[in-house]
A = this chain, B = another copy of it.
Amino acid sequence: MNLKQLSELLGLSQTTVSRALNGYPEVNEATRERVLQAVKETGYRPNKAAQRLATGKAGSIGLVMPTAPGHQSDVHFGEFLAGLGEEAVRHDFHFVIMPADPDDEVAALRRLAISGNVDALFIAYMRGHDPRLAMLKSLSMPYVVHGRSFGAEPDYPYLDIDNEGAFYDATRLLLQLGHTRFALMNGPTHLDFAIRRRNGVISALAERSLTLEEDCMTHALMTDEQGMLAMERFLQLPQRPTAILCSSTVMALGAIRAVNQAGLRLGEDISLIAHDDVLPLLKPENFSVPLTTTRSSLRAAGVRIAQRLIGTVKHAAPFPEQELWRTELIVRASTGPAPQQP
């Protein structure tokens, strides 16, 4: 069943049927009703390829999927995708996913853009001074960045969470609990969120004239294993930190294992706050000692970015170019008063 057949069936022209379907005003309401009714009865579905050819719109969002061996972010990628998809399915949008080595990001993005089968781009895994931004600006294609690029002029469309604020708040909470020896287990050093989180911790500490020692800070892939290693290192320091900030619940998993193995109690000897992306895989409230977290749903961010992207493609309402989401600080049992000095 195609437009021609449908219009013949209705005794109308293809033009009118097309307009009725696409909500154009110059079609009689009664006629539109009739068309809609016929669509329902026949199960007619417009041919995507034809629409695309005629309109020049692909109905799809392009994204580059980093796939290098050892790349850590699959969990987050999947969760984010779920969010994007949730919104996309409502608008009959789909994704064009291009896998690429992280070192090949810029080129992969360009290839995707000129391939002609995407209307908009989604960009993630931002770094400081990210080289993709310049390329994106030179393209005439809508895009939204998830995260930001530290050091770059913030004049590009993005959605980010307030990483600095989150870790500032978390640090403040621990300060109020009397902690003075802090450590931070962070994501890879070149990634934007890691830079900002570190800054948040440092600025909160600075207000109390405290500093974050070099050996109390690790940058690594956010895996369970790295979390454990980092925590082991912290616990062996002569001046053992009592307050730990952690960039990921996955990483916290390993960190907590190390705490337990050392015979220390979480929330008593060691306080820990982790950032929670609200992964269904790993709920901080279900940890043996429920985790205090800074929370922001990755999935919700996906939904929102899809809205903006799709809205822009459809020339709908204008969206704010920059959005910064605050995170929630959820206090659970992994944080407690600083232990008495021995």
A: which residues have CB within 8 A of B? 45, 47-50, 52-53, 56, 58, 60, 65, 67, 69-72, 74-75, 77-79, 81-82, 85-86, 88-89, 92, 94-100, 114-117, 223-225, 228, 253, 257, 260-261, 279-282, 286-288
Contacts and interface: CB of A to CB of B under 8 A. Distances in A.
A117 B224 contact: no
Contact of A53 (B45, B53, B82, B279): B53
Nearest to A73: B78
Nearest to A62: B94
Given A78-B77, A98-B94, A48 B115 contact: yes
5 contacts: A47-B116, A49-B49, A52-B53, A94-B96, A94-B117
Given A95-B97, A96-B94, A98-B94, A74 B257 contact: no
Contacts of A288: 228
Contacts of A49: 49, 52-53, 56, 58, 116-117
Contact of A223 (B69, B94, B260, B282): B282
Contact of A79 (B74, B82, B97): B74
The number of times this chain is found in the oligomer is: 2
Contacts of A45: 114-116
B67 A85 contact: yes
B224 A224 contact: yes
A42 to B, nearest CB: 13
Residue in A60, A95, A115 whose Cβ sees the most chain B Cβ within 10 Å = A95
Given A72-B280, A95-B95, 6 more contacts: A49-B52, A67-B82, A67-B86, A85-B97, A92-B115, A97-B97
B116 A48 contact: yes
Contacts of A281: 72, 74-75, 223
